[in-house]
């Protein structure tokens, strides 16, 4: 898939146009197209061949032609020319907070500054301040931001940021002056990675809240402090932005600060067409200025005759249209989950015994838990030999007798070997209650080989689920070369379920892929891949990813009660 590559190209064009001082609307058009292509599960190259590029919202005549040219020839004349007009090195400077296209252009023209290093030097030597529109304060800020940029990694895992934000929100809620508090922004939308943390508070004493916020125990540095907005840096280098609003605007503010930007823009356009205006203070009649709603978030949507749109869907990916037509999905909820279908124990690379994992699952109110330790050849993870399996099965039988009606399923995470064969013989595989299969090697194989392996696994008569089908580790490893559309077709034909792996650094299938799989009627599992009992709590991230993928309860295998899950599994055995 070259989707990310094409999206990146369009982003670069937008950046260059921005520095060049082009129309903001044209720049926005490139960014919107990039965003749409990034979230596509269909292969952009295939769409280009089929001539269907213009079906992508935000892609019109001009951009479609450019994509065609780029994919066919490997380069784009327009982009090449642009790079001669505007030095591409300057794009980097836009990453410095406070540096926009105008300042980048100014510094480039007057001081020939091209890189962050040069910018840093110039600021150190006080050459920025005398420039028109700059000044001492601006120079100091640039210096500070450059230093901060070095120590701050760009994006953080939801699994790290969500608990941190909830901790802060809990502390803020304890203050008597605080009426309401919530994480907002991309955290509330449950994106898999997060930049800055947005927190919203309703209070009549804004400044007191600011002060209390700045004194929280996790605060390392106060970056900015205004009347209604302040930013801090925590000891684990998370930036948190706090905004305080009056309680009667809280709903409108929560809607606004939850975003996404793109969702809000579309919502505001819709409002405009009806003679209404939306801001963070409420929804108003354009002509009279009369406020129609603001206290609760739901009001904003209801006044526009929309069903309430859950935060996870607010990405301008068709949710507003669906809300208009009353066709929003009834999203799966954490309480719908009846069990976990992928966990490890001490027998392979987990850290707790079977009994501990089972008790923890039962304590969560689950009806079942599938033990899926690694298979024999995965030496690095102490994969189980057939002999060890026998004793694990024995242990499971004994425990099940004690724990009834709770049920431990004897499962495996069998390795799909480099040649596409599975890591246990068929007889052994038939002995499991559930077989999940994974690729753990040959990550760099070409797409054909990867697809052959996946196809072989999905056609194998015992395989029920493919785990982490994309194979990404967020921030560490790119997905392997999966043709997702083909994988989905295979899953649909063979009736194989696909996992949404809930590990915070996997979340694989990701949200877009999950949505496409759901559209094609593929069964999904949401499992944690827990290696100790605390990891069972990762389920919320898997459910969040599923929700972002418009997934409903009926799409998810482990939302079934035990008896129906067992039915599904045995019917599958009979069919094959």
Instruction: Report the residue number, 62 or 363, with the smaller CB distance to DNA.
Output: 62
Among 229, 291, 295, 388, binds DNA (CB under 7 A): 229
Q: Which residues pair with 370 in a beta bridge?
A: 409
* The only residue of 12, 46, 228, 537 in contact with DNA, by rule CB under 7 A: 228
Q: Which is nearer to DNA, 86 or 514 (CB)?
A: 86
Among 261, 327, 554, 576, binds DNA (CB under 7 A): 261
User: Among 123, 242, 238, which residue's Cα sits nearest to residue 178?
Assistant: 242
- Residue 198 vs 505, nearer CB to DNA: 198
Q: Does 223 bind DNA (CB under 7 A)?
A: no
**Which residues in 290-305 are b (16+ Cβ under 10 Å) and which e?**
ebbbbbebebbbebbe
Binder among 74, 84, 137, 574 for DNA (CB under 7 A): 137
Binds DNA by CB under 7 A, chosen from 101, 293, 311, 549: 101
Query: Which is nearer to DNA, 26 or 160 (by Cβ)?
Result: 26
Q: Is 573 in the site for DNA (CB under 7 A)?
A: no
DSSP per residue, 354-368: HHHHHHHHHHTT-SE
Torsion angles phi and psi, residue 282, rounded to 5:
145, -175
Helices (H) and strands (E) in the chain, counts: 23, 17
Kindly indicate which of the ranges 90-98, 301-309, 459-467, 487-495 contains the residues binding DNA, using the contact rule CB under 7 A.
Answer: 90-98
C-beta separation of 416 from 439 below 8 A: yes
268 lies in the binding site for DNA (CB under 7 A): yes
CB-based burial, 538-574: b 16+ in 10 Å, e otherwise: bbbbbbbbbbbbbbbbebbbbbbebeebbebbeebee
Is residue 149 at the binding interface for DNA, with CB under 7 A as the rule? no
CA distance 41 to 9: 18
Q: How far is the CB of 408 from DNA (least distance, A)?
A: 46
- Residue of 129, 170, 386, 473 that binds DNA (CB under 7 A): 129
Q: Are strands 368-374 and 339-343 parallel, antiparallel or unpaired?
A: parallel
Q: Is 314 in contact with 260 (CB distance < 8 Å)?
A: yes
Q: Can residue 330 be called a binding residue for DNA (CB under 7 A)?
A: no
Quick one: which of 141, 179, 205, 400 contacts DNA (CB under 7 A)? 141
How many chain residues are in contact with DNA, going by CB under 7 A? 63
Spatial distance between the Cα atoms of 282 and 256, rounded to a whole number of angstroms: 9
Backbone angles phi, psi at 407, to 5 degrees: -135, 125
CA distance 513 to 534: 27
112 Ramachandran zone, left/alpha/beta (phi>0; psi -120 to 50): left
110 binds DNA (CB under 7 A): no
Residues recorded for the chain = 576
Q: Is 269 in the site for DNA (CB under 7 A)?
A: yes
The smaller minimum CB distance to DNA, of residues 65 and 400, is found at: 65
Judged by CB under 7 A, which stretch of 146-154, 255-263, 290-298, 542-550 contacts DNA? 255-263
Among residue numbers 174 through 213, which ones bind DNA (CB under 7 A)?
185, 196, 198
Asked if residue 227 binds DNA (CB under 7 A), the reply is yes
- Select the residue interacting with DNA from 133, 176, 217, 379 (CB under 7 A): 133
Q: Which of 7, 16, 48, 99 binds DNA (CB under 7 A)?
A: 99
For residue 556, what are the β-bridge partners?
524
**Residue 116 engages DNA in binding (rule: CB under 7 A):** no
What is the smallest separation between the CB atom of 272 and DNA, expressed in angstroms? 5
Structure tokens at 447: 């797409």
Helix (H) or strand (E) holding 46: helix 44-50
Regarding 449 and contact with DNA (CB under 7 A), the answer is: no
Asked whether position 398 contacts DNA by CB under 7 A, the answer is no
Q: State the minimum distance, in angstroms, from the CB of residue 168 to DNA.
A: 17
Site track for DNA across 12-51, x = CB under 7 A: -----------x-xx-xxx-xx------------------
Task: Give the range of 148-156, 269-277, 434-442, 516-524 binding DNA by CB under 7 A.
Answer: 269-277
Residue 246 makes contact with DNA by CB under 7 A:
no
Among 88, 246, 248, 281, binds DNA (CB under 7 A): 281
Query: Per-residue x/- marks for DNA, 50-79, CB under 7 A?
Result: ----x--xxxxxxxx-------------x-
Q: Residue 415 in contact with residue 374, Cβ under 8 Å?
A: yes
Which are the contacts of 561, defined by CB distance < 8 A and separation ≥ 6? Answer: 338, 367
Residue (264 or 558) nearer to DNA, CB: 264
264 near DNA, judged by CB under 7 A: yes
Q: Confirm or reject binding of residue 318 to DNA (CB under 7 A).
A: no
- State how far the Cα of 342 lies from the Cα of 319, in Å rounded to an integer: 31
Question: For every residue of 160-217, which 3-state class applies, written as one string?
Answer: HHHHHHHHHHHHHHHCCCEEEEEECHHHHCCCCEECCEEEEEEECCHHHHHHHHHCCC
97 binds DNA (CB under 7 A): yes
Q: Give the three-state DSSP class for 301.
A: helix
Q: Give the interface with DNA as residue ranges (CB under 7 A).
A: 23, 25-26, 28-30, 32-33, 54, 57-64, 78, 94, 96-104, 129, 132-139, 141, 185, 196, 198, 224-229, 241, 257, 259, 261, 264-265, 268-269, 271-273, 277-281
């Amino acid at each position: 898939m070259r989707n990310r590559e094409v999206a990146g190209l369009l982003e670069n064009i937008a950046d260059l146009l921005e520095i060049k001082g082009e129309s903001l609307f044209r720049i926005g058009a490139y960014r919107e197209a990039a965003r749409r292509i990034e979230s596509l599960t269909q292969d952009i190259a295939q769409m280009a061949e089929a001539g269907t590029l213009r079906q992508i919202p935000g892609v019109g005549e001009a951009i479609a032609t450019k994509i065609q040219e780029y994919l066919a020839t490997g380069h784009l004349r327009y982009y090449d020319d642009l790079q001669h007009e505007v030095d591409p090195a300057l794009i980097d400077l836009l990453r410095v907070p406070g540096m926009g296209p105008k300042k980048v252009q100014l510094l480039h023209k007057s001081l020939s500054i091209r890189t962050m290093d040069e910018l840093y030097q110039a600021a150190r030597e006080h050459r920025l301040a005398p420039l028109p529109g700059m000044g001492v304060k601006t120079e100091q800020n640039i210096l500070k931001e450059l230093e901060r940029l070095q120590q701050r990694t760009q994006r953080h895992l939801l699994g790290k940021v969500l608990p941190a934000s909830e901790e802060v929100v809990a502390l803020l809620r304890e203050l008597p002056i605080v009426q309401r508090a919530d994480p907002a922004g991309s955290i509330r939308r449950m994106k898999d990675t997060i930049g800055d943390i947005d927190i919203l508070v309703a209070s009549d004493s804004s400044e007191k809240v600011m002060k209390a916020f700045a004194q929280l125990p996790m605060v390392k540095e106060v970056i900015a402090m205004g009347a209604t907005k302040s930013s801090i840096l925590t000891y684990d280098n998370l930036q948190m932005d706090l905004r305080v609003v009056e309680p009667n605007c809280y709903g409108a503010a929560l809607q606004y600060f939850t975003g996404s930007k793109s969702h809000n823009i579309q919502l505001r356009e819709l409002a405009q067409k009806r003679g209404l205006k939306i801001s963070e203070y409420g929804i108003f009649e354009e002509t009279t200025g009369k406020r129609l709603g603001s206290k609760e978030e739901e009001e904003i949507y209801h006044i526009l005759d929309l069903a309430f749109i859950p935060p996870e869907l607010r990405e301008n990916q068709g949710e507003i249209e669906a809300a208009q037509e009353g066709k929003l999905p009834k999203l799966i909820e954490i309480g719908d989950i009846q069990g976990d279908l992928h966990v490890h124990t001490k027998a392979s690379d987990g850290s707790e015994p079977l009994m501990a994992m089972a008790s923890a699952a039962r304590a969560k109110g689950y009806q079942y838990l599938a033990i899926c330790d690694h298979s024999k050849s995965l030496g690095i993870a102490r994969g189980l030999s057939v002999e060890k399996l026998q004793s694990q099965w024995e242990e499971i039988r004994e425990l099940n007798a004690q724990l009834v009606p709770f049920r431990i399923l004897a499962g495996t995470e069998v390795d799909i070997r480099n040649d596409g064969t599975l890591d246990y013989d068929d007889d052994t595989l038939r002995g499991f209650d559930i077989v999940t299969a994974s690729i753990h090697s040959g990550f760099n194989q070409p797409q054909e080989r990867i697809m052959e392996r996946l196809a072989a696994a999905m056609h194998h008569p015992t395989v029920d689920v493919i785990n982490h089908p994309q194979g990404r580790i967020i921030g560490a490893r790119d997905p392997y070369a999966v043709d997702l559309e083909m994988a989905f077709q295979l899953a649909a034909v063979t009736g194989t379920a696909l996992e949404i792996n809930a590990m915070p650094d996997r979340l694989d299938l990701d949200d877009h892929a999950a949505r496409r799989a759901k559209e094609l009627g593929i069964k999904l599992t949401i499992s944690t891949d827990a290696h100790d009992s605390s990891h069972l709590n990762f389920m919320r991230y898997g459910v969040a990813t599923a929700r972002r993928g418009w997934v409903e309860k009926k799409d998810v295998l482990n939302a079934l009660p035990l008896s129906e899950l067992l039915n599904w599994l045995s019917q599958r055995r009979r069919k094959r």
